[in-house]
Structure 1
Amino acid sequence: MTVRATTAPAMPARADRGTGPQPAASAHLTGEVSRGGRVPAPVIVGVGLLGVALIAVVSLLLGTQSVAPGAILRALSGGEASTEVRGIVDSRIDRTVIGLVVGAAIGVCGVVLQGLTRNPLAEPGILGINAGAALAVVLGIKFFAISTVGGYVWFALAGAVVAAVVVQLLALLAPVRAQPVTMALAGAAIMATSTSVVGAIVVSDQGALDVFRFWQVGSVAGRNWSIVTEVAPFLILGFILCFASGRTLNAIALGDDLARGLGQRVVLHRLLAATGAILLAGSATALAGPIAFVGLVVPHVVRAVVGPDHRRILLGSLFAGPVLVIAADTVGRLVAAPSEVQAGIVCAVVGAPFLVALVRRMHVS
């Protein structure tokens, strides 16, 4: 079976010898890709902020219960409003803030994972990272009685690290050109195993089931936005490491051999970028549970708009991720009113067809 990924250039066999770095290669290594057709960073930020602001307003205005816009504005401004309206508005603020943070984290994490692995299918859900984190959290609930996000995050990070390492080791056993599909299959195996163990635990333990059942499907509902402060150190460090990896990801797109030939410390930079991605994936899972496909869809959509420069893709995904998660949460409140469909389920409905289309484009033969 031969697999050809279309989202990254082929890996060169070796760096040029004796002639020094070529101008084009040096330009890519430093991230200075061609400007033709590229969206400037200020435009990305401006459009991104506008998109996030608009979807946040929609999230505050719409929900399972109909509330007049005027009443919502009064509640937001501290004016006269009923206790019921204040409760509804506070709940929508909580889930909007959490959706913003989780979406940004998963979107940026997806960019880094795809860049590091040069795999267009790389995403925390597909690679089994979310499932590993979820399994670790369930084990923490079962055996250590954890019940706070501060407790979840340590187990989620540990589970994410273990799952990422196992998937990478399994992928390395395959030929280089088959690694994208092998990595996805390894992630599916991790996901299936973790899901089975989780099911066995929650079915046999009613207490664990009550704590875990709504968290498992991925949801931003039922949480106070203040829990973000419990994972803030991990999020901040994760974002710093991921955004600092933009130039490194541009270099890796040319192949590790060429990057080394041009003076890049590939192993160290890969480790730092991977650490950032795992911190973001673990933190997002601790906050909202395993929300899949956001890290797959967002980088591809942003890349199609802003071009191949990973620095711009990271910046665009920082805004596109929250838009997708908050939109999914809002749609979930409306399609089954007065009940709700969790954001993780809505994202899966959107992401699954996208995954099928992406696999077809990879020309597996």
Structure 2
Amino acid sequence: MVTAWAAAQRKRELMTLSYRSPPLRPMDVEIQVTHCGLCSSDLHLIDGHWGDASVYPQVCGHEVIGRISAVGENVAGLRLGQRVGVGWYRSACLACEFCLRGQEQHCPCLIATCTHGEHGGLANYMHCDSRFVFPIPSALSSEHAAPLLCAGVTVHTALKRATEPNMAVGIVGIGGLGHLAVQFAGKRGCHVTALSSSRHKERDALTLGAKRFVDLSEPVECKRVRNALDYILVTSSVACDWPTIIDMLRPCGTLCFAGMPPPVTFDIASMMYKTLSITTANVGGRRDILDTLDFAAARGVRPWVQSWPLEDVNQAIRQLRKGRVHYRAVMHVGKEHDPAQ
């Protein structure tokens, strides 16, 4: 019997929900959950902002860490008791053009971990296709590994595809995504400028590896980085002075959105003058997840985490809604706070 925390209706606090898992399919594993991250996507699902993606009772949680407690008859490469993780999606066809390219996140048959009626990781157990379950490097604690499975892979994959050592990189927003992006960019050998209107985050940004902090609310500071950056990754979901941000890019520079701000309008003519590009980031494929975990383990990238027992999930959600989590929220299940690795 599974015990989970679920929203019974839109915008309601989570309550306990018990249900029986379906029979284990040949390629499935059962995971005894020990940790599960919370992020803004979970809030959107709880509140019903994404239409039919929310099916109530809604069990969220897509940054899941646990240990394998049962395996299907055709599972290979995973063993009972192994520490593993699950990210935004739990299955795909593995046969379409996108899956064959290693872009499983674009599969038309993609099954997300906790949308459209699938029950996520805010529970003591969950089932998942074993081919979308990832071993966790021993160098990473479970608390640190959980946020890497969604927030971490999103920003790391964007940086991996577009940056090289010695590039000048700007990170807009020092929050749940941004604090990871600063670390990944710095560890990739980039010269990182943190761009934020929250002056109190300057010390954090520099501690995380930024070489410079620019207060976006100060025009004089912004002018100092005109035509100075090769690549800007937007991790914030709030509106910015986009002409000012665009003005910071050097010729042939790129502006990439990992956060989801309100609709944006750009002056295409001014962008053409410098041959600028706009692109977006997403959660990446299976190989990207493994690369993110391995890179973080080897290079010392660690999320800054606040942790709560699962029974305090509503308290964690309230803090997340108020923007008071510094910087990722992780729930832990049962007495075992961070299992031996």
When the two structures are superposed, what TM-score results if normalisation uses the length of structure 1? 0.22
Of structures 1 and 2, the one with the larger relative CO (CA 8 A, separation 6+) is 1
Bigger strand fraction: 2
Bigger helix fraction: 1
When the two structures are superposed, what TM-score results if normalisation uses the length of structure 2? 0.23
Greater gyration radius: 1
